[in-house]
Amino acid sequence: MRISFLLHNAYGIGGTIRTTFNLAQVLAERHDVEIVSVFRHREEPTLGAPPGVTMRHLVDLRKNSPDYDGDHPDYKKPARVFPRGDGRWKQYSRLTDARLGAHLKNLQADVVVGTRPGLNVHIARQARRGPVRVGQEHLTLDSHGYRLRREIGHRYALLDAVTTVTEADARSYRTRLKLPGVRIDAVPNSVPAPSVPPADSTAKWVVAAGRLTNVKRYDLLVKAFAQVVAERPDWRLRIYGSGDATGNEKNALRALIELHRLHNHVFLMGPANPLEPEWVKGSIAAVTSRIESFGMTIVEAMRCGVPVVSTDCPHGPREIIEDGVDGRLVPVGDADAVAAALLALINDDELRRKTGQAALAASERFDPARIAERHEALFAELVAQGEGARSRGALRDGLHRVRGAVLDAAYTVRYKAADVLRKGKRK
């Protein structure tokens, strides 16, 4: 098969980029695979180009490049096709509309895969009717605002399949959206086997990793660890991750650490890439998020033989951790429960060792080869059906697009009216 992935920016860093690279690399062992990045801002991908995969880009933002597009007149004009509800909308433009449209209409592939809602909408609206059209959801339906959910509910009807990273989110798509004829499958993200030996469970460190944002609730983790230190002052906590540009969350965490006098026990380590050598320095991992679209850090820690204490938040942890076997699940927002679960593993060396071994074994199901097989089976089945079996028909396709054009016009009038009202209030 010829498989084409469409990424926002393959030259940056992030979970969607990493998991797409993992999947593409394995598929490239048996198929002709390319990754098309809408934007390119640097010479080489930060994560390294996956072997065997062709890399292309549509908009060049390298200032020293002879093909630099930052001065193109359409680059500053707001996008019309890329949906406003997608959080990346301001980065898109009439130029990206045109480049994506030309790319999708001329694409010679058996399968085209979008990796965020805005790009899935482009595929639904602009891809020619030949390739299998697949939209991947790397977040969750609930995480999107009303405007984007409405757009998804309308546009995704022209896709052949939607894949989510959890079964819980797949159920949301099946039950809350009317997408007749669109296959909806849950396929988790993949995490490769680490390049370092697994943790031996003897180090007296708890490790956490992820962006320093409110949703990760590191404040809850610090409060819980204050209780841990009161009983076991020989244990310490490392938190890896970068904060936002303002540094507000990082400063707030530093103040909280000082308030609880934990400056010798809790350390904000900043970002680390790769994380594998840091996971194996610990014996327990902690995730205190109020919501997770999947839980990549949970799987990463488990693949390093580190058991995870996680909040039982939507959507991913419960589908990854078997409570009491290969990790622990605790109520969201409960610092006492987090502390108790951490102490149960800290105070029982044999339990910690067994739980870590179980985590290592259970996490093998997320190996890229296994996950790639599931995507490959889906793609092959849809390709084998042929366009006639997959398609909702040329007439319905055309009517759907006409209805979309009417909605677009209505949205434009609505947004312009709202802008006029806002400007009037400011005056």
pLDDT in tens, 208-261: 999 899 999 999 999 999 999 999 999 999 999 987 767 889 999 999 999 999
Same domain, 115 and 246: no
Residue owning tokens 């290592």: 360
The answer to whether position 77 is within a domain reads: yes
The answer to whether position 402 is within a domain reads: no
Q: Which of 366, 384, 400 is the last residue of a domain?
A: 366
Same domain, 129 and 222: no
Question: What DSSP string describes 260-321?
Answer: TT-TTTEEEEE--SS-HHHHTT-SEEEE--S-BSS-HHHHHHHHTT--EEEE--SBSHHHH-
End-to-end CA distance of the chain: 58
Query: pLDDT at position 391, please?
Result: 55
The answer to whether position 350 is within a domain reads: yes
Query: pLDDT at position 14, please?
Result: 84
Same domain, 81 and 177: yes
The parts of the chain modelled with pLDDT lower than 50 are 393, 395-396, 399
CB 133 within 8 A of CB 157: no
Query: pLDDT at position 426, please?
Result: 54
Q: Is the dihedral of CA 110, 114, 120, 122 positive or negative?
A: negative
CATH of the domain at 37: 3.40.50.2000
Same domain, 69 and 179: yes
The answer to whether position 228 is within a domain reads: yes
Query: pLDDT at position 64, please?
Result: 95
Same domain, 100 and 159: yes
**How many structural domains are present in the chain?**
2
Same domain, 121 and 233: no
The answer to whether position 340 is within a domain reads: yes
Same domain, 152 and 275: no
For residue 39, the SS3 value is strand
| Residue 104, both tokens | 């999708």
Residue type, 153: G
Q: Which of 366, 384, 412 is the last residue of a domain?
A: 366
CB 137 within 8 A of CB 177: no
Same domain, 375 and 357: no
Same domain, 40 and 16: yes
Query: pLDDT at position 395, please?
Result: 43
Same domain, 132 and 168: yes
The answer to whether position 300 is within a domain reads: yes
Same domain, 351 and 212: yes
Same domain, 352 and 387: no
Query: pLDDT at position 411, please?
Result: 53
pLDDT in tens, 372-388: 999 999 999 999 998 76
CA distance 120 to 12: 20
The answer to whether position 406 is within a domain reads: no
- Which residue range forms the structural domain that includes residue 299? 205-366
Query: pLDDT at position 389, please?
Result: 63
The answer to whether position 134 is within a domain reads: yes
Query: pLDDT at position 392, please?
Result: 53
Query: pLDDT at position 319, please?
Result: 96
Residue owning tokens 């042929």: 386
| Residue 4, both tokens | 């084409």
